[in-house]
Amino acid sequence: MKNVLNDIKTRLINGEYKNEEHVRLNIVARMLSELGWNIWDPNEVNAEFNVAPDEDNTKVDIAVFVNKYSPTIFIEVKAVGRIDSSLSDTERQLRNYNRNQTALFSIITDGRKWQFYYSQTGGEFSKKCFKTIDILAQDPEDIELSFLLFLSKEEINSGRAKCEAEKYLKLSQEQRVMEDSLPEAKRLIQEPPYPSLPDCLVSLVV
């Protein structure tokens, strides 16, 4: 796994991935294979998967299956550097895919950045993001552990990936609540009885 990640990182730095297909084949498929998925079996890794064949021709770039009856992971692929400019539109796409067949995880990636969403929770789709990986910016060991935990076939099958995703998502939601409450907390500490900032935050979010 380390060697694969190091090679991908080097090729990203050198600008060798020129388009979306390079990312899909040379990064995403390679990573899936390394993480235990049989990329040669379309019942397990299905490119251009038609999410709702009875309704329209909408297709997700890659659908990954633990069993052939329901998708486990949806992956939308972008060219390197294109993830941020189209993030809202891609999140809407994935939200719509999950209306017909709800996957466990949905992923948006441009090969460098990987955004993981826990599709099976409620609320706005953008708030379902529980993990972001940046192959060029983050610690290599953390990157490896994150991929092994949330994208390996073994951890998906065991149910551990789902449990850990729920923990990560809860933590990120609590952090968002704290951030949203910060302006009000800063206002309150300037008024009698002049509480501390931590006490204000606790009183607002509990």
Task: Judge contact between 98 and 113, C-beta under 8 A.
Answer: no
- The CA distances from residue 24 to 35, 39, 70, 78, in Å, are 15, 12, 21, 8
Nearest to 153 by CA among 5, 31, 21, 49: 31
Instruction: Tell me, yes or no, whether 86 and 11 share the same domain.
Output: yes
93 and 124 part of one domain: yes
Q: In CATH, what number is assigned to the domain containing residue 71?
A: 3.90.1570.30
pLDDT score for 55? 67
186 touches 197 (CB < 8 A): yes
Same domain as 72, residue 91 = yes
Give yes or no: residues 152 and 172 share one domain: no
Q: DSSP labels for 4-18? A: HHHHHHHHHHTT---
Q: Do 176 and 133 belong to one domain?
A: no
Please check whether residues 180 and 198 belong to one and the same domain.
yes
Note down the domain range covering 154.
Answer: 2-158
Give the CA angle between residues 11, 147, 153 to the nearest 5°.
120
User: What pLDDT score does 50 carry?
Assistant: 86
Same domain, 60 and 119: yes
pLDDT the model gives residue 53: 66
Residue 64's pLDDT is what?
Answer: 96
Strands 105-109 and 73-77: parallel
Claim to verify: residue 154 and residue 175 sit in the same structural domain: no
**DSSP category for residue 37:** -
Q: Are residues 93 and 9 in the same domain?
A: yes
Q: Based on the fold, state whether residues 102 and 142 are members of the same structural domain.
A: yes
d(CA 34, CA 102): 25
CA dist., res. 73 & res. 35, Å (int): 13
- 65, 46 contact by CB (below 8 A): yes
| 124 and 175 housed in the same domain | no
H or E, element range at 62: strand 59-64
Q: Tokens for 85?
A: 């400019």
Q: Is the pTM of this model over 0.85?
A: no
Burial of 174 (0-12, 13-18, 19+ CB in 10 A): exposed
Regions of the chain with pLDDT less than 50: none
Rounded Cα distance, 37 and 31, in Å:
9
Provide the number of structural domains found in the chain.
2
My answer on whether 140 and 189 are in the same domain is no
| Pairing mode of beta strands 105-109, 45-50 | unpaired
